[in-house]
Structure 1
Amino acid sequence: MKGKARTDRRASWLKGVLDLLVLAGLAEGESYGYAIAKRLDEAGFGTIKGGTLYPVLNRLEEAGLVDAEYRAAERGPGRRYYRITDEGRAFLAEQAAAWTEFDEAVRSALGAGGNT
Protein backbone atom coordinates (compact mmCIF):
# COMPACT_ATOMS: atom_id res chain seq x y z
CA MET A 1 0.00 0.00 0.00
CA LYS A 2 1.40 3.38 -0.96
CA GLY A 3 2.16 6.09 1.65
CA LYS A 4 -0.84 8.28 0.79
CA ALA A 5 -3.33 5.44 1.33
CA ARG A 6 -1.67 4.64 4.67
CA THR A 7 -1.93 8.31 5.73
CA ASP A 8 -5.59 8.47 4.71
CA ARG A 9 -6.33 5.38 6.81
CA ARG A 10 -4.69 6.88 9.94
CA ALA A 11 -6.73 10.04 9.46
CA SER A 12 -9.92 7.96 9.40
CA TRP A 13 -8.92 6.11 12.55
CA LEU A 14 -8.09 9.37 14.30
CA LYS A 15 -11.40 10.93 13.30
CA GLY A 16 -13.20 8.05 15.00
CA VAL A 17 -11.40 8.49 18.32
CA LEU A 18 -10.51 12.20 18.44
CA ASP A 19 -13.39 13.08 20.78
CA LEU A 20 -12.09 10.55 23.31
CA LEU A 21 -8.51 11.76 22.97
CA VAL A 22 -9.57 15.35 23.59
CA LEU A 23 -11.65 14.35 26.61
CA ALA A 24 -8.78 12.23 27.97
CA GLY A 25 -6.43 15.20 27.65
CA LEU A 26 -8.90 17.49 29.41
CA ALA A 27 -9.32 14.92 32.19
CA GLU A 28 -5.72 15.82 33.12
CA GLY A 29 -6.65 19.49 33.45
CA GLU A 30 -8.12 22.43 31.59
CA SER A 31 -6.46 23.56 28.40
CA TYR A 32 -6.89 25.62 25.24
CA GLY A 33 -7.02 24.52 21.60
CA TYR A 34 -3.39 25.04 20.59
CA ALA A 35 -2.09 23.23 23.69
CA ILE A 36 -4.50 20.32 23.10
CA ALA A 37 -3.31 20.00 19.49
CA LYS A 38 0.33 20.20 20.58
CA ARG A 39 -0.18 17.46 23.20
CA LEU A 40 -1.82 15.18 20.62
CA ASP A 41 1.03 15.80 18.17
CA GLU A 42 3.62 15.00 20.85
CA ALA A 43 1.71 11.81 21.68
CA GLY A 44 2.22 10.63 18.10
CA PHE A 45 -1.12 11.52 16.50
CA GLY A 46 0.34 14.06 14.10
CA THR A 47 -0.68 17.63 13.46
CA ILE A 48 -4.33 18.29 14.25
CA LYS A 49 -5.46 21.42 12.44
CA GLY A 50 -7.83 23.94 13.96
CA GLY A 51 -10.42 23.11 11.32
CA THR A 52 -10.51 19.59 12.76
CA LEU A 53 -10.03 20.31 16.47
CA TYR A 54 -12.37 23.25 17.06
CA PRO A 55 -15.48 21.55 15.66
CA VAL A 56 -14.74 18.64 18.05
CA LEU A 57 -14.43 21.04 20.99
CA ASN A 58 -17.65 22.82 19.97
CA ARG A 59 -19.51 19.51 19.65
CA LEU A 60 -18.25 18.37 23.07
CA GLU A 61 -19.33 21.68 24.57
CA GLU A 62 -22.79 21.51 22.99
CA ALA A 63 -23.17 17.98 24.36
CA GLY A 64 -22.35 19.19 27.87
CA LEU A 65 -19.16 17.12 28.03
CA VAL A 66 -16.88 20.15 28.33
CA ASP A 67 -17.26 23.70 29.58
CA ALA A 68 -15.49 26.59 27.91
CA GLU A 69 -14.46 30.00 29.19
CA TYR A 70 -12.89 32.86 27.27
CA ARG A 71 -10.04 34.58 29.06
CA ALA A 72 -8.45 37.81 27.97
CA ALA A 73 -4.66 37.86 27.87
CA GLU A 74 -2.34 40.65 28.96
CA ARG A 75 -0.45 40.19 25.69
CA GLY A 76 -1.87 38.95 22.45
CA PRO A 77 -5.29 37.51 21.82
CA GLY A 78 -7.38 35.91 24.52
CA ARG A 79 -7.93 32.19 24.66
CA ARG A 80 -10.86 29.90 25.13
CA TYR A 81 -10.09 27.39 27.89
CA TYR A 82 -11.85 24.04 28.02
CA ARG A 83 -12.43 21.73 30.98
CA ILE A 84 -14.18 18.39 31.19
CA THR A 85 -17.50 18.22 33.06
CA ASP A 86 -18.68 15.42 35.35
CA GLU A 87 -20.88 14.21 32.49
CA GLY A 88 -17.80 14.29 30.25
CA ARG A 89 -15.83 12.16 32.74
CA ALA A 90 -18.63 9.60 32.86
CA PHE A 91 -18.86 9.56 29.05
CA LEU A 92 -15.07 9.19 28.76
CA ALA A 93 -15.03 6.22 31.16
CA GLU A 94 -17.87 4.49 29.30
CA GLN A 95 -16.47 5.10 25.84
CA ALA A 96 -12.88 4.28 26.83
CA ALA A 97 -14.12 0.87 27.98
CA ALA A 98 -15.95 0.39 24.68
CA TRP A 99 -12.84 1.45 22.73
CA THR A 100 -10.71 -1.02 24.70
CA GLU A 101 -13.11 -3.85 23.80
CA PHE A 102 -13.01 -2.80 20.15
CA ASP A 103 -9.21 -2.56 20.20
CA GLU A 104 -8.94 -6.05 21.70
CA ALA A 105 -11.25 -7.45 19.01
CA VAL A 106 -9.19 -5.82 16.25
CA ARG A 107 -5.93 -7.09 17.76
CA SER A 108 -7.39 -10.58 18.02
CA ALA A 109 -8.57 -10.55 14.42
CA LEU A 110 -5.22 -9.25 13.18
CA GLY A 111 -3.34 -11.83 15.22
CA ALA A 112 -5.57 -14.66 14.02
CA GLY A 113 -5.53 -13.89 10.33
CA GLY A 114 -3.48 -10.79 9.73
CA ASN A 115 -0.52 -12.67 8.28
CA THR A 116 -2.34 -14.87 5.76
Structure 2
Amino acid sequence: MNLLIDVNVAIDICSQRKPHAETSALAIDMAASNEVRLWLYCGSTQTLEYNLYKQLSRENIAAGKPETNKTVLSKARRLLTEFVKDKQGSSTKPVELSLNSHRCSLRFCVEE
Protein backbone atom coordinates (compact mmCIF):
# COMPACT_ATOMS: atom_id res chain seq x y z
CA MET A 1 0.00 0.00 0.00
CA ASN A 2 1.13 3.56 -0.69
CA LEU A 3 0.50 6.59 1.50
CA LEU A 4 1.09 10.21 0.53
CA ILE A 5 2.20 12.20 3.57
CA ASP A 6 0.66 15.63 3.91
CA VAL A 7 3.11 18.47 4.51
CA ASN A 8 1.42 19.21 7.84
CA VAL A 9 2.15 15.71 9.15
CA ALA A 10 5.87 16.29 8.58
CA ILE A 11 5.67 19.74 10.20
CA ASP A 12 3.79 18.29 13.19
CA ILE A 13 6.52 15.72 13.77
CA CYS A 14 9.52 17.95 13.08
CA SER A 15 8.32 20.83 15.25
CA GLN A 16 6.46 18.69 17.83
CA ARG A 17 3.47 20.92 17.07
CA LYS A 18 0.71 20.50 19.59
CA PRO A 19 -1.81 18.92 19.65
CA HIS A 20 -1.04 16.99 16.45
CA ALA A 21 2.56 15.78 16.84
CA GLU A 22 1.74 12.62 18.77
CA THR A 23 -1.05 11.56 16.40
CA SER A 24 1.07 12.29 13.31
CA ALA A 25 4.01 10.30 14.68
CA LEU A 26 1.68 7.41 15.55
CA ALA A 27 0.31 7.41 11.99
CA ILE A 28 3.84 7.26 10.53
CA ASP A 29 4.85 4.49 12.95
CA MET A 30 1.73 2.48 12.12
CA ALA A 31 2.42 2.85 8.41
CA ALA A 32 6.02 1.71 8.85
CA SER A 33 5.05 -1.29 10.97
CA ASN A 34 2.49 -2.37 8.36
CA GLU A 35 4.95 -2.03 5.49
CA VAL A 36 3.11 0.90 3.96
CA ARG A 37 5.20 2.86 1.49
CA LEU A 38 5.43 6.49 2.53
CA TRP A 39 5.60 9.23 -0.08
CA LEU A 40 6.14 12.96 0.14
CA TYR A 41 5.38 14.99 -2.96
CA CYS A 42 8.69 16.48 -4.08
CA GLY A 43 6.97 19.64 -5.29
CA SER A 44 6.04 20.39 -1.70
CA THR A 45 9.56 20.41 -0.23
CA GLN A 46 9.98 24.18 -0.42
CA THR A 47 6.52 24.63 1.07
CA LEU A 48 7.46 22.17 3.80
CA GLU A 49 10.70 23.98 4.55
CA TYR A 50 9.00 27.40 4.60
CA ASN A 51 6.10 26.30 6.81
CA LEU A 52 8.39 24.51 9.26
CA TYR A 53 10.58 27.62 9.39
CA LYS A 54 7.50 29.79 10.14
CA GLN A 55 6.29 27.35 12.82
CA LEU A 56 9.68 27.31 14.53
CA SER A 57 9.87 31.11 14.38
CA ARG A 58 6.41 31.43 15.98
CA GLU A 59 7.38 29.00 18.74
CA ASN A 60 10.62 30.89 19.46
CA ILE A 61 8.82 34.22 19.68
CA ALA A 62 6.09 32.78 21.91
CA ALA A 63 8.77 31.35 24.21
CA GLY A 64 10.54 34.72 24.34
CA LYS A 65 13.60 33.27 22.59
CA PRO A 66 13.72 34.85 19.12
CA GLU A 67 16.55 33.61 16.91
CA THR A 68 18.00 34.90 13.67
CA ASN A 69 16.33 33.85 10.42
CA LYS A 70 19.49 31.99 9.43
CA THR A 71 19.48 30.00 12.69
CA VAL A 72 15.81 29.06 12.39
CA LEU A 73 16.19 28.09 8.72
CA SER A 74 19.21 25.94 9.59
CA LYS A 75 17.22 24.23 12.35
CA ALA A 76 14.30 23.61 9.95
CA ARG A 77 16.64 21.96 7.43
CA ARG A 78 18.27 19.83 10.12
CA LEU A 79 14.87 18.67 11.41
CA LEU A 80 13.72 17.79 7.88
CA THR A 81 16.91 15.83 7.26
CA GLU A 82 16.36 13.91 10.50
CA PHE A 83 12.71 13.34 9.59
CA VAL A 84 13.53 11.56 6.32
CA LYS A 85 16.45 9.48 7.60
CA ASP A 86 14.48 6.55 8.99
CA LYS A 87 11.86 6.67 6.26
CA GLN A 88 14.14 6.08 3.30
CA GLY A 89 13.35 2.79 1.65
CA SER A 90 15.96 0.66 -0.03
CA SER A 91 13.97 0.57 -3.26
CA THR A 92 14.22 4.29 -3.89
CA LYS A 93 17.00 6.50 -5.10
CA PRO A 94 17.72 9.96 -3.75
CA VAL A 95 16.22 13.00 -5.41
CA GLU A 96 18.36 16.11 -5.24
CA LEU A 97 16.28 19.16 -4.44
CA SER A 98 17.44 22.74 -4.25
CA LEU A 99 16.27 24.55 -1.14
CA ASN A 100 17.36 28.17 -1.52
CA SER A 101 20.81 27.30 -2.89
CA HIS A 102 21.26 24.38 -0.46
CA ARG A 103 20.78 20.80 -1.51
CA CYS A 104 18.73 18.23 0.34
CA SER A 105 18.56 14.53 -0.45
CA LEU A 106 15.10 13.01 -0.01
CA ARG A 107 14.14 9.44 -0.88
CA PHE A 108 10.38 9.66 -0.98
CA CYS A 109 9.74 10.35 -4.64
CA VAL A 110 11.40 8.32 -7.35
CA GLU A 111 11.48 4.55 -7.71
CA GLU A 112 14.45 2.83 -9.30
What TM-score comes out, normalization by structure 1 length? Answer: 0.33
- Structure with greater helix percent: 1
What TM-score comes out, normalization by structure 2 length? Answer: 0.34
- Structure with greater strand percent: 2
